[in-house]
Amino acid sequence: MNKWIFCTALWMASAAQAHEFWMTPDRFSPPVGAPVALSLWVGENLVGDPVGFGRPMAASLRWYSRSGEVQLKPQLPDNLQQSSVAMAFERAGTQLIVLDTQPFTIDLPADKFTAYLREEGLERVIAQREASGQSAQPGRERYRRHVKTLLRVGGQTDSSFGARTGQTLELVPLADPHLLKPGGVLPVQVLFKGAPLEGALVKVWNQRGSQLNVLRTRTDAQGQSSTALPWGGVWMVSVVHMVPTTDGLGQDWDSHWGNLTFEMPLKPTGR
């Protein structure tokens, strides 16, 4: 199997078993002007395979900083043969990279679909399928990914961490992760089409040595949840939301997968 076919196959199968999808730089705290490689991953339990990073899969790729917003999709390769893209940041401070993917579709057997809904806290969808007599039917799903990653360049941070970017499903940190101390609380807000999303299952992931840690909370009426992060290191926040389709194009459900990655330092850093 050549690399292009392999990357495409990973894209098409990435939701088959409720796989997470995330973006990371090769270093979260680069010096000013140093090259950074951004990569995309799909997998489970923070163990992933690289997937192709190019225009065919991207609905949009944007970069937010205190200098404003920059559209990056035109700079992506026109194929999926690369698993990373290179950037360099010429100004110190927080850099927020935001990716929204094109829609992909998948059909799952009823039992696997129900198990995946339960794992992602989507009991509401299970109840809807039961009420409409669809529980024994395959799950026909169209899914999109909405991912972010935060970098701290030159040892400095600023308010760009909390930029609202207009993603369909968006995770917004309400406190700067770079300023937290180990044991500090990270509040986040989940927005769906710009409005607070109540009752969403938020998972917060960290790999510490051989130990995988997954902390779970639910959002309140303001779409907010808070999680204590016991130690520094690389963290990932994820959330999934699903609604019935309305366009009659063959799929029954639209799912949106939000994701945020960042590195919390062992010691807080100044602005």
Question: Strands 253-264 and 139-153: what pairing?
Answer: parallel
- Could you tell me if 226 and 190 are in contact, meaning their C-beta atoms sit under 8 angstroms apart? no
What is the model's pLDDT at position 250? 87
Domain 3-109+139-264 has CATH 2.60.40.10: yes
Query: Directed axis angle between helix 123-131 and helix 110-119, to 10°?
Result: 140
What are the residue boundaries of the structural domains of the chain, listed by start? 3-109+139-264
What is the model's pLDDT at position 18? 56
Q: Taking the model in full, what pTM does it have?
A: 0.93
- Could you tell me if 243 and 254 are in contact, meaning their C-beta atoms sit under 8 angstroms apart? yes
Cβ of 122: how many Cβ atoms within 10 Å?
Answer: 21
Question: Strands 58-65 and 93-101: what pairing?
Answer: antiparallel
What is the model's pLDDT at position 6? 40
Task: For residue range 231-261, list pLDDT tens digits in order.
Answer: 999 999 999 999 999 997 889 999 999 999 9
Amino acid at 184: G
- Could you tell me if 217 and 227 are in contact, meaning their C-beta atoms sit under 8 angstroms apart? yes
- Could you tell me if 24 and 43 are in contact, meaning their C-beta atoms sit under 8 angstroms apart? no
Give the C-alpha distances (Å, rounded to integers) separating 218 from 48, 52, 59, 97, 195: 25, 32, 28, 25, 16
Nearest to 229 by CA among 198, 251, 205: 205
Weakly modelled stretches of the chain, pLDDT under 70? 1-18, 267-271
Evaluated on CA atoms 115, 206, 180, 38, the torsion sign reads negative
Give the C-alpha distances (Å, rounded to integers) separating 43 from 15, 18, 48: 9, 9, 4
In the three-class reduction of DSSP (H, G, I as helix; E, B as strand; rest coil), residue 240 is classed as: strand
Q: How far apart are the first and last CA of the chain?
A: 48
